Chain A
Amino acid sequence: MIALLLILVPVIGGLITFSIKNENSVKGFSILVAVITLILALTGLFSNDQSLLHFDASWIPDLGTRITLGLDGMSKMLALLTAVSLPIIITATYKNTYADAGKFYGLMFLCQAGMLGVFLSMDALLFYFFWELALIPAYFLCSIWGGEKRIQVTFKFFIYTFVGSLLMLVAILFIYFKTPDHSFALQSFYHANLTASQAQWMFWLFFIALAIKMPIFPFHTWQPDTYEQAPTAVTMLLSGVMVKMGVFAVIRWLLPIFPAASQSNSSVIITLSVIGMLYASLIAMRQDDIKRLIAYSSMAHMGLMCAALFANQQVGIQGVLIQMFNHGINIIGLWIVADAIEKQLGTRKFSELGGLAQKAPTLAVLFVVLCLANVALPLTNAFVGEFLMFNGLFRYNPVMAGIAGISIILAAVYTLNMIQKIFYGNTVALTENAHDSSFNVNVALVILVIVVIVLGVYPQPMIDLTQGNANLFITKIP
């Protein structure tokens, strides 16, 4: 029941938000809906009652598809991430004004519902439906409220992901006809009878969709532009949660359906991921724009996750599972700071900023903590995940792990460089009259920083939560 409510509440809440005209009541109502969703996700997290956590209903018998939703360890965690991110995003951007605020927040909720659906679906066709449904609101959000070049950039993003998902649909259909009982259910998909060469082809059709979403080099070109042009609240949702759909789908669908093909293609994919990591890190070093730097940094992190996934080591996958959550928390924090700076000073270029720490000490402290988490310093939440992922990658191939390790050093270089240029040194004309961040931004950031530190010091609950998923699927690998 919780599983169904988790999707229904944002959908209904979003539809109601559409019809509200007054901007303040829109925001108030949105926080209410977001908090209800969060409470549901928390209830799900602490519940062990299977009848609450699963939902199953007939939908289109003729197509062999059912509405099957379920919360296991991994989806509990990702549902929590999705549910946490929206209240924080709304709080942090509370002072931003939007034309047609009702539609803006309504679409945000529909997007959230789509993503929750992806994480909860235990039926391939339902999964595909939600996968697309998360995309359409995002398309409208970015195209209506985005920056100057929003229309072309968002269109590129849309076409890219749409091509990917259509290829995935072909793969899903093909596997459907090979399942023993002609059903889209997850378990039937795990037992599909594919010959080696069929599995090889379908693996790539499926993987391209996920690679575009994550994004993995060379399918990444939509990402920096979209993150830059989208309204920041949407960027947070896209980079914090939506890209996790790709990683999630690898663990839920791709690896268990094609264990052999995943293994035989792992060297290609890991090489691509590592190239992407280095490439993104090098570009990030040359950026002068906070948003673009965070975008490239996120791409480097996603590359590491993908590499660790295909290393076929249990520790690596365990690392990816917890890093999905932690990366979402950290990157949302970084975007909040970027947005606060841009809203106050009107620029995102470091070269035009400096000495902000003197004027905005609270913002500076919170930002530094988040940046340290972004470079995975010990005692921050990202450390455990990255450590486990590198561990997995190292067991697979030490050389690859070594090359990938360079990107960690580069990450420290560009992140610290950014902190230094924005917050330290002498104040410039622009930052002379700057003031500290507003209350709502501080609240959002403090919550995130607490999560960062708590999970950094004591990550065990998270590991326990997702252990089941990591174990389950390691036994699948022949």
Chain B
Amino acid sequence: MNAIIFSAGWGMVMMFCSFLISNKSMYRHIAVIGLLLLLAVNILESGGTSVFHVDAGDMLVYTRFGYVFNSIAIASTLIYVLLTGKDIERLGNYVAEYFVLIFFVLCGVCILSAYNNLLMLFIGIEILSIPLYILTGSDKRNLKSNEAALKYFLMGSFSTGIMLMGIALMYGGTGTFSLEVARTEVGLYKGVSFLEIIGLLLLMVSMCFKVSAAPFHFWTPDVYDGAPAVFTSFMATIVKAAGFIAFLKLCSVRMTATSTAIDWQLLFAIIIIATLLFGNITAIFQQSVKRMLAYSSIAQAGFMLFALFSLNEYASKGLLLYAAAYSLATIGVFAVLVKMKDVTFEGFNGLAKTQPVLAASNTIFLLSLAGIPLTAGFLAKYYMLASIISTGHYIWLVVVAVLFAAVSVYYYFRVIQSMYFKTGEPQTETITKSFKIGLVVLAAIIIIIGVYPQAIFSWLYF
């Protein structure tokens, strides 16, 4: 609750900074301070000490799960700003506003991790999305950025419309916006109102759109490719993870309750297979690393969907782990990508010779994304597989998924091959020493989580 107020408030403060302070790098420092405070406030509140007391009634309910996710999202944003903050400054004249928008997105994230009411879900999604439309188009003189922003906005508002329609139908079916519904048995289809099922289906479509699950993923490659790489990194990690957390809550309450009437698992199985298929197969054929990462983020979404499929203890814990592991690795990969002048695979040729630290840490990020053991990514994938295998059914789905995981090795390792086994003269922006230290620390975190995850497991109890 405090995190919501605080992130919105700090966003407002930073807006005023933009005309009170003219030094560009000052904004970054203010943003870092804001994120640190935000993290502190959130951790304090999860420990029971809150700064403001606001009674949100039944609209927002904070659980330990929500707090942990908020912490992960805020910490990831902090790492993201520390690593790529300088590149945000290079982007244009409205540096302060970019940070403001990032804070507003975080506000949306915090709402999504706590909503207990469909209206709050809608508001959270909107608060999250609208700043993103702006950030996508922030490279004003680049036609691709403009195109991406318009595309994202049109498609995004369309999916929001579908979501609203779904919520309205669900209201018609159950008579309440609240997530928890007292059910009556009169005049219903297998105990569930027909309107509610249609509403849930529409809601599912729009959520699939937000987390870029097939067949609603078509916007993802264009938007991720067109948006400035610094913001793609943010969109593909924290925002996507927040979408999944919201989706998980919706599924674990509403879809479990209506599973007598409709086989959600089958529906999700189809979506998972389609997502893995589209994401992995198209990623293979890309020539640009940035576009490859866009497709691979669809493929990773396929793995995160496992949590929505199985909805057990492994799923919720695993989704948090997945969100953390995937965000950290992707932020790292994008931080390196932003420094490259040529973002095709050829542009990475010979990077190990000229920038050994960049190449080595990038390798660890890619290994983590590919799910190689002793990295955080393996653990995340492990939990996702375990969540289904523990039920003892749908083993074929797991087998299909691991085959696609092997496919993903193909395109992630192409980058490693370019960096280490091929020769070339890669052009990079100037690399500062602090950036290198940041990358190494991030890589070390990924390895530590992979080797000794027990250290963070104690956090994840809720």
Chain A interface residues (CB < 8 Å from chain B): 59-63, 128-129, 132-133, 136, 140, 143-144, 150-151, 155, 158-159, 162-163, 166-167, 169-170, 173-174, 177, 201, 205
Known pairs A60-B454, A144-B420; A173 contacts B386 (CB<8 A): yes
**CB pair B402 A169 closer than 8 Å:** yes
Tell me, in angstroms, the Cα distance from A140 to B417 when the chains sit together. Answer: 9
Tell me, in angstroms, the Cα distance from A167 to B406 when the chains sit together. Answer: 10
Of A60, A132, A173, which one neighbours B453 at CB under 8 angstroms?
A60
Which residues of the partner chain A approach B422 to less than 8 Å between Cβ atoms? 151
Tell me, in angstroms, the Cα distance from A163 to B400 when the chains sit together. Answer: 11
Which residues of the partner chain B approach A129 to less than 8 Å between Cβ atoms? 373-374
Beyond the given pairs A163-B406, A166-B403, A177-B386, 8 more chain A to chain B contacts, judged by CB atoms under 8 angstroms and listed by A's residue number, are A59-B454, A63-B453, A143-B420, A155-B410, A155-B413, A170-B385, A170-B395, A170-B402
Is B421 engaged at the interface, CB distance under 8 Å to the other chain? yes
Is B164 engaged at the interface, CB distance under 8 Å to the other chain? no
18 A-B contacts, Cβ less than 8 Å apart? A60-B453, A61-B454, A63-B382, A128-B373, A129-B373, A132-B372, A133-B374, A136-B367, A136-B372, A143-B417, A155-B417, A158-B409, A158-B413, A163-B406, A167-B399, A170-B385, A174-B389, A201-B395
Known pairs A61-B454, A170-B395, A170-B399; A159 contacts B374 (CB<8 A): no
Q: Smallest Cβ distance from B385 to chain A, in angstroms? A: 6
Tell me, in angstroms, the Cα distance from A62 to B417 when the chains sit together. Answer: 35
Is B390 engaged at the interface, CB distance under 8 Å to the other chain? yes
**CB pair B373 A150 closer than 8 Å:** no
Give a binary string over B416-427; 1 marks a CB under 8 Å from any A CB, 0 the rest. Answer: 010011100000
**CB pair A166 B420 closer than 8 Å:** no
Q: Smallest Cβ distance from A222 to chain B, in angstroms? A: 14
Q: Smallest Cβ distance from A264 to chain B, in angstroms? A: 20
**CB pair B409 A159 closer than 8 Å:** yes
Interface residues of B in 414-449 (CB under 8 A from A): 417, 420-422
Chain B interface residues (CB < 8 Å from chain A): 367, 372-374, 382, 385-386, 389-390, 392, 395, 398-399, 402-403, 405-406, 409-410, 413, 417, 420-422, 452-454, 457
Of A133, A140, A163, which one neighbours B373 at CB under 8 angstroms?
A133
Which residues of the partner chain A approach B402 to less than 8 Å between Cβ atoms? 163, 166-167, 169-170
Known pairs A62-B457, A143-B417; A173 contacts B409 (CB<8 A): no
Which residues of the partner chain A approach B382 to less than 8 Å between Cβ atoms? 63, 169, 173
Which residues of the partner chain A approach B417 to less than 8 Å between Cβ atoms? 143, 151, 155
Tell me, in angstroms, the Cα distance from A169 to B372 when the chains sit together. Answer: 12
Tell me, in angstroms, the Cα distance from A163 to B367 when the chains sit together. Answer: 15
Which residues of the partner chain A approach B372 to less than 8 Å between Cβ atoms? 132, 136
The 4 A-B pairs with the shortest beta carbon distances in the complex, nearest first, are: A166-B402, A163-B406, A132-B373, A173-B389
Known pairs A163-B406, A166-B405, A173-B385; A150 contacts B421 (CB<8 A): yes
Tell me, in angstroms, the Cα distance from A140 to B363 when the chains sit together. Answer: 12
Identify the closest chain B residue to A135 (Cβ): B372
Q: Smallest Cβ distance from A148 to chain B, in angstroms? A: 12
Which residues of the partner chain B approach A162 to less than 8 Å between Cβ atoms? 406, 409
Q: Smallest Cβ distance from A167 to chain B, in angstroms? A: 6
Of A133, A151, A159, which one neighbours B410 at CB under 8 angstroms?
A159
Tell me, in angstroms, the Cα distance from A151 to B418 when the chains sit together. Answer: 10
**CB pair A166 B406 closer than 8 Å:** yes
**CB pair B454 A62 closer than 8 Å:** yes
Identify the closest chain A residue to B391 (Cβ): A177
Identify the closest chain B residue to A154 (Cβ): B421
Identify the closest chain B residue to A173 (Cβ): B389
